Amino acid sequence: MRADARSGGWYHRAVVYLLFLILLLPLAGTLLYSLATSWSASLLPSGLTFKWYIALWSEPRFLAVFGQSLLVCVGALLLSVVLILPLLFVVHYHFPRLDALMNILILLPFAVPPVVSSVGLLQLYGSGPMAMVGTPWILIGCYFTIALPFMYRAITNNLQAINLRDLMDAAQLLGANTWQAALLVVLPNLRKGLMVALLLSFSFLFGEFVFANLLVGTRYETLQVYLNNMRNSSGHFNSALVISYFAFVLVLTWVANRLNKDKT
Sign of CA dihedral 184, 70, 218, 33: negative
What distance in Å separates the CA atoms of residue 125 and residue 46, rounded to the nearest whole number? 50
Q: Which is nearer to another protein, 87 or 162 (CB)?
A: 87
Choice from 253, 255, 262, 263 touching another protein (CB under 8 A): 253
Bridge-partner residues for 48, per DSSP? 36
**Judged by CB under 8 A, does residue 114 bind another protein?**
yes
3-state secondary structure of 48: strand
110 counts as binding another protein under rule CB under 8 A: yes
The radius of gyration computed from the CA coordinates of the chain, to the nearest angstrom, equals: 23
Residue 171: Cβ within 10 Å count: 18
What is the distance between the alpha carbons of residues 219 and 190, in angstroms, rounded to a whole number? 37
Enumerate residues 6+ apart whose C-beta is below 8 A from 263. 192, 193, 196
Residue 146, number of CB atoms within 10 A of its CB: 20
Q: Which of 71, 31, 97, 59 is nearest to 206 (CA)?
A: 71
Q: Please tell me whether residue 96 binds another protein under the rule CB under 8 A.
A: yes
> Of 157 and 253, which has the nearer Cβ to another protein?
253
Work out how close the CB of 189 gets to another protein at its nearest, in angstroms, rounded to a whole number.
Answer: 19
Q: Between residue 159 and residue 218, which ones bind another protein under the rule CB under 8 A? A: 165, 168-169, 172, 178, 203-204, 206-210, 213-214
Does residue number 144 form part of the binding site for another protein (CB under 8 A)? yes
State yes or no: residue 66 binds another protein (CB under 8 A): no
**Contact between 134 and another protein (CB under 8 A)?**
no
Which residues on neighbouring strands pair with residue 36, listed in sequence order? 48
49 binds another protein (CB under 8 A): no
Q: State the minimum distance, in angstroms, from the CB of residue 68 to another protein.
A: 16
Q: Tell me if 121 contacts another protein by CB under 8 A.
A: yes
Question: SS3 for 71-127, per residue?
Answer: HHHHHHHHHHHHHHHHHHHHHHHCCCCHHHHHHHHCCHHHHCCHHHHHHHHHHHHCC
Q: Quick one: which segment of 47-55, 59-67, 78-86, 189-197 binds another protein (CB under 8 A)? A: 78-86
82 binds another protein (CB under 8 A): yes
With CB under 8 A as the contact rule, the residue among 54, 101, 119, 161 that binds another protein is 119
120 binds another protein (CB under 8 A): yes
Nearer to another protein, 41 or 174 (CB): 41
Q: Which stretch binds another protein (CB under 8 A): 57-65, 119-127, 154-162, 189-197?
A: 119-127
